Structure 1
Amino acid sequence: MFRKKHNSHDNQEHDAKDQEQKIKELRAAIGPLYGSNLTFCTDACLRRYLEARNWNVDKSKKMLEETLKWRTTYKPEEILWHEVATESETGKLYRANFHDREGRTIIVMRPAKQNTSSHDNQLRHLVYVLENAILSLPEDQEQMVCLIDFTGWSLSNSPIKTARETANILQCHYPERLAVGFLYNPPRIFETFWKVVKYFLDSKTFLKAKFIYPKNKESMELLRKHFDLDVLPVEFGGRNQVQYNHEEFSKMMIAEDAVKASLRSLEEKTPQPGLAAQAS
C-alpha cells in the first residue's frame, strides 16, 4: 500500500491552527488585562513571545509577565523626547529615514559618538527610540534592522554594564523585533568585548548578528543584498551622503510624542472589560 503524502499546504494550515491555539492558551494563562497592558498584548505581541520561547506556553507566560511588570514600573510609552534629547545630539542612536530592501525600519547606532556617562539615561534613550520605531512600523512589518557602525569605537564607549542591560532589554522586553543586526567595521579590540557580550545573548539573537568588514567582499555583498547602495549611508559603504540632523530628528520626535499622547488619552477614555460589570 502506498502512504498518503501530506503536501506543504496542509502542513502550513496545521501549523497555523496550532499556533492560533497556542496564542489562545497564552492569553487565557495571563488572565484579565487592563489599560496599557491590554493595549500592549495584541495577538501579534503574544505570537512574538511564543516564538521567542519556541511556542512553549509556560515559558512564554513567564517572559510576558516579566515584561508587563517592567512596563508597569518603567513606563516606556510615557518617555518624552525632551527627557532624552541630549543623548541623541551626536547621532549615536536614531531611527533612520531609509529602509532596507524589504521596507523594514532601520535603527542606526554609532557607539563611538557616545556623549554622556549616565547609564540610566542611555537606556531610557534606547527604549524611547525603540518604542517610537515600533509605532512607526507599517502594518505588515513586525521587525526592524539594526545598523551599528563601530568605526572609532573603543572599550570606553561601551561599558559592560550598559551592554548587558541593553541586551537584556532587547531580548526580554522586545522579543522577535530584531530581524538582523549588522556590526560594521568592528576593530580588532572588539573581539575581546564580543567574547563577553555574547554570553548575554540568547542563541536566536546571537545568530542575527552579522559582522561586516569593509575590505571583505563577501561580507559587503551581504550588506548589499539587504540595502540599496543609493540609500545606504557612506559610513556603511553606501552612496547616501545625508548625515544625521539633530534638529530635524527632534521635530519628528516631538510630533510623534503628540501622537502618543493622543493614543494614551484615547486609551484612558476607553471602557475596560469587566469594569462596567463591576460597577453595575
Structure 2
Amino acid sequence: MSLNLEVPPSNGCEKVILSEEQHMKICEVRRLLGPLSGTSSIYCSDLSILRYLRARNWNVKKATKMLKATLKWRSEYKPEEIQWDEVAHEAETGKVYCADCKDRHGRTVIVMRPCRQNSKTVKGQIRYLVYCMENAILNLPSNQESMIWLVDFKDFDMSNISLKATKETAHILQEHYPERLGLAILYNAPKFFEPFWMVAKPFLETKTANKVKFVYSDDVNSKRIIEDLFDMDQLESAFGGNNNVGFNITKYAEMMKEDDKQMRCSWSAVNPNSLASEKAQSSGLVGSQITNRSESSENERTDGDIHITRKADGN
C-alpha cells in the first residue's frame, strides 16, 4: 500500500511515492523528537525528516539521533542567522560561491576553487561554507533538494591541502546536511591529488564518496558527465562551458545581501513577497544575476523546507 505523498529522492531528479511504512517512520521520528518550537519546528518538515531517514537507511532510532544532533548544532551554531557581512572577507577571492547557472535538473551549483584559499582559520572557512550551503538550499526550486558541487583544480598545489579542514567539512556536510549532495565534480584534479583523495575518502560515507566524479577536459568520456548535466552556454568556461563571465565580488555581494533579507523573512515566517517593492528598487548591478538564479524557482514549496520564492522578474 502507498500514500499519495510525492517527494524527491536523494538524487533530486524525479519524484517517488512513499509507502505507508515509510510514512509511518516519519511519524515515528516526530513522536521521538517530541514537541518542537521556533526554527526547529520549521526545520523538521516531512522532507527534512525523510532525508535523515534515507541517510540512516530508514533506521528510525539512528535517524532520530542524527536529527537531534543537528537540531542541537543548529540551535548553537545558528546557521540561518549568518549574514554576508560576517563572512564577506572569506568570499573575496571567489574560493566558494553559488553559481548563476543551475544544472539541467534545476539544482543549485556551488563552485569551489581551492587555490584561492585566503584564510588560515578552519573555523572561518567552515562558517563561510555553512553560509553557502544555507544559501544554496534557499535557492533550490520546489522540486529539488540536492545540489551540485563543481571543484576547479586550476593552479592547485600541495599548499592548498588541509586534512583538518577536509575532515571538518566532511563532518558538517554528512551529519547536518544529509542527502543534500547530488554530485561533486572534481575538474582537472592533478595526479598528486590522488593520494590525498585516498586518505580523505574514508572520512566519507560510501554513498557520498560514490557521488564524487573526476572529470578531465582532455577525456571525452568524463566530459560527458558535465555535458549531460549542464547547458554549456550557461556553464562557466573554466569547466568547459561557453560562459566567459567570471566571478565578480561586487555583484555577488549585492546578491547575497538580498538573499540575507529573504533568509531572515523565511525563518521568521514573514512573507518574502513583502520585500518585492524594496528589491525592485535595489541596484541594477545584480538584476541579471537574480533573474538567472530564479528561472527554476517559480513555484512555491509546500514541503516546509526554507527557500526563496522568486518569479522570473527576480522578485
Instruction: State TM-score, norm by structure 1.
Output: 0.88
1:182 aligns to what? 185
Q: Which runs of 5+ in 2 are unaligned?
A: 2-14, 271-315
Matched, 1:256 2:259: yes
Among the aligned pairs, what percent are the same residue?
48
Distance 1:62 1:97 in 2: 36
The aligned residue for residue 31 of structure 2 is: 28
Pick from 133, 141, 144: which aligns with 2:144?
Answer: 141
Where do 1:41-80 residues align within 5 Å? 41-80=44-83
- Which sections of structure 1, spanning at least 5 residues, go unmatched? 1-5, 7-11, 268-280
The secondary structure found in structure 2 opposite 1:182 is strand
The residue number in structure 2 matching 1:90 is 93
**Which of 228, 233, 242 lines up with 1:230 in the alignment?**
233
Listed one character per residue, the Cα deviations across residues 78-107 of structure 1 (whole Å, up to 9, x for unaligned) are 111001001111111000100111111111
Note if contact 2:106-2:140 (Cα within 8 Å) is conserved in structure 1: no
How far, CA to CA, are the matches of 1:243 and 1:152 in structure 2? 16
- Are 2:88 and 1:111 aligned? no
Aligned residues of 1:52 and 1:176 also touching (Cα < 8 A): yes
Deviations 1:15-74 (A, max 9, x none): 522211111111111111111111111001000000101111011011111111111111
Sort the Cα spacing of 1:202 and 1:115 in 2 relative to 1 into closer, same or farther, 3 A: same
Q: Of Structure 1 and Structure 2, which has the larger fraction of its residues in helix? A: 1
Q: How far apart, in 2, do the equivalents of 1:13 and 1:110 lie?
A: 35
Aligned to 1:101, what secondary structure does the other structure show? Answer: coil
The answer on whether the counterparts of 1:155 and 1:193 sit within 8 Å (CA) in structure 2 is no
Could you tell me how far 1:199 is from its partner in structure 2? 1.0
Q: CA deviation at 1:263?
A: 3.2
* Displacement of 1:159: 0.9
Instruction: Pick 1 or 2: higher relative contact order, CA cutoff 8 A, min separation 6.
Output: 2
Question: How do 1:235-250 and structure 2 match up within 5 A?
Answer: 235-250=238-253
Q: What residue number does 1:3 align with? A: none
CA contact (8 A) 2:42 2:267 kept: no
| 2:237 alignment partner AA | V
Amino acid paired to 1:186: A
The alignment yields a C-alpha RMSD, in angstroms, of 1.7
Structure 2 equivalent of residue 124 of structure 1: 127
- Distance in 2 (alpha carbons) for counterparts of 1:188 and 1:154: 11
Cα distance in 2 for partners of 1:143, 1:233 equals: 20
Give the Cα–Cα distance (whole angstroms) in 2 for the partners of residues 149 and 13 of structure 1: 33
Q: Which residue of 1 aligns with 2:307?
A: none
Partners of 1:25 and 1:136 in 2: how far apart?
A: 30
For residues 14 and 94 of structure 1, what CA distance do their matches in structure 2 show? 33
What TM-score comes out, normalization by structure 2 length?
Answer: 0.79
